A and B are shown apart, each in its own frame.
Chain A
Amino acid sequence: MQKITKPVQLFLLIALGFALWFPSVGDEFYVELLINIMIIAIFAMSLDLLVGYTGLVSLGHAAFFGIGAYGLGIFFGEMNQYSIWAALPVSLILTALAAVVIGWISIRTSGIYFIMLTLALAQMFYYYFFESKLYGGDDGMFISTKPDVNFGSIQLLDLGNEHTFYYFTLGILVVVFLFLVMILRAPFGQVITGICANEQRVRSLGYATQRYKLASFVIAGTLAGLAGFLEAAHTGFITPSYLGWHESGNILVVVILGGLGTLYGPIIGAVALVLLEDFLPDITEHWKIVLGMIIVCVVLFLPNGISSLSGKIFRIPSQIMKTILRG
């Protein structure tokens, strides 16, 4: 994977410091907003693994987000008390299984056919939950309480507390980021990055590329399921729209806006999109047009996403310094 430059590392550390400090001074509304941003960032990073690193553009990624959420709702939604050590694995296993099935079928195709297959298969899941009276149909499902995080009889975290949930989500965001950095720097990451550039060439180096694509698909899907689990646990509510193509398109926009194939780009994209969606309605009732124009401008003028600004911004002070030193 591309090296994360020192200035970007510094920026990420400052952002982490800000995120750790913010709940102690910030308004509850913004704490809530940041939880939302972090969940979207995890979801977007999972899609970046697929689109930005493996070169598989999926329009059905929201299916896994929704399945992760429904996994919690179906098995634990009506319980007054349940452990995260049971609920989280159930959600992740369900999502991974769905990703194996969808991935196994989809990776046999490429390009537009892959997009259409992921879209069609994800829509099948969407319509299943939309029409399923058992799982609330169009009305969705409620989750009565947040999961317990206990070690034996000792309570480790009280996720019912908004600030605790905030730090819990931040911790997961950091772990997911580091996990993805680790696998992308491992031989597995080199192979999928190679597949993104030239799959035939990777095959002629002796790799069974289909297996690697499927593994990437399943990891990405499972991480999206993790984001869905967090969303369901956070809001206490699940709706079939979580699985819809609209949500898949939205998360693709987050990745493109932030910068494909960077990992930190999707985090920046999530911050940008959620903040814009929050502030623009205060300025104009036609805020979606403004949002659309901003996205168009980013795509036209920053084809590598907002994260590509970092290189340009950090270059300015170094150029000023060089000019001063030259006298």
Chain B
Amino acid sequence: MTTGSPGNNTPLIEARGLHTFYGDSHILHGIDITIHKSETVSLIGRNGMGKTTTLRTLIGLAPPRQGTIKVHGRDIKKSKVHKIVHQGIAYVPDDRGIFPNLSLYENLIMAARSGPNGRDDWPLSRVLDLFPRLKERMGHMGNQLSGGEQQMLTIGRALMTNPDLILLDEATEGLAPKLRKIIWAVIKQIKKAGIATVIVDKDIKTLLEISDRNIIIEKGKIIYDGDSEKLIKEPEILKKYVGV
């Protein structure tokens, strides 16, 4: 395993030796992952290798059987999901999880909360400035939105929680190229705003362009951890483990 250099010495999340199971299936085999403040990290790997499970483990939706997870230095392994969210971690799931029976406005506003240190950097107006399309659809119900609008809403909702870190799972999956460009542009703006992100996506080229660090997962184990420049110089690694 190659270890990359973190940009900041204070870890936002520090997970050690994570072993996560779904029933009897052993998915994560001793994952170590550290995310620093304002860092953009990509999780790369083929389907079924444990990328989504890693994100779900970090947010508490798939609690690990072994290992430790610290957020801002505090152990959260036994914390419930809502408590972890209160520590400044937001999750954008691959299924988007829009509430179809609530309006777009209600979907956004119910996520509004101050950040861990009482920060309120992302009020509704700022989120709507980031996604002007949502402004036009405020009264529409969740099930009346297109896939792209739903994705914007999901990211907007995550921002409304004023997080320190956003876990983005396949945020551009199934979207038209034009919409993908919009989502990537938003992710770049989130990075610029100093929010750390862990991104899972199939668009490796853009991931390498945007990420400070890349982690490759193979069969529930981290087999590579390094910056984009380094990974680009080692194309055989991408070819072997990702097929590109």
Contact = CB atoms under 8 A, between A and B. Distances in A.
Contacts of A187: 109-110
B59 interface: yes
B43 to A, nearest CB: 18
Given A2-B141, A194-B102, A204 B110 contact: no
B154 to A, nearest CB: 9
Interface string B78-109: 00111001100001010001011110001001
Contacts of B81: 200, 203-204
Nearest to A195: B99
A247 to B, nearest CB: 28
Interface residues of A, number: 20
A186 to B, nearest CB: 11
B61 A190 contact: no
Given A2-B101, A187-B109, A207-B82, 5 more contacts: A190-B110, A193-B99, A193-B101, A198-B99, A200-B81
Given A2-B101, A198-B99, A205 B110 contact: yes
Interface of A: 1-2, 187, 190-191, 193-194, 196-198, 200-201, 203-209, 261
B157 interface: yes
A197 B93 contact: no
Given A205-B110, A206-B85, A200 B99 contact: no
Contacts of B111: 205-206
How many chain B residues sit at the interface, stated as a range, is: 20 to 34
B180 interface: no
B161 to A, nearest CB: 6
Contacts of B97: 198, 200-201, 204
B171 to A, nearest CB: 15
7 residue pairs, one from A and one from B, having the closest CB atoms:
A201-B97, A206-B85, A190-B110, A203-B81, A197-B99, A194-B99, A204-B91
Nearest to A209: B82
B219 interface: no
Interface of B: 59, 61, 80-82, 85-86, 91, 93, 97, 99-102, 106, 109-111, 113, 141-142, 157, 161
Interface centre among B59, B82, B141 (most CB of A within 10 A): B82
Contact of A201 (B93, B101, B106, B113): B93
A205 B59 CA distance: 11
A1 B157 CA distance: 18
B147 to A, nearest CB: 17
B86 A201 contact: no
Contacts of B102: 190, 193-194, 197
A204 B101 contact: no
Contacts of A1: 101
Nearest to A55: B101
22 contacts: A1-B101, A2-B141, A187-B109, A190-B102, A190-B110, A193-B101, A193-B102, A194-B99, A194-B110, A197-B102, A197-B142, A203-B81, A203-B82, A204-B81, A204-B85, A204-B91, A205-B161, A206-B86, A206-B113, A206-B161, A207-B82, A261-B101
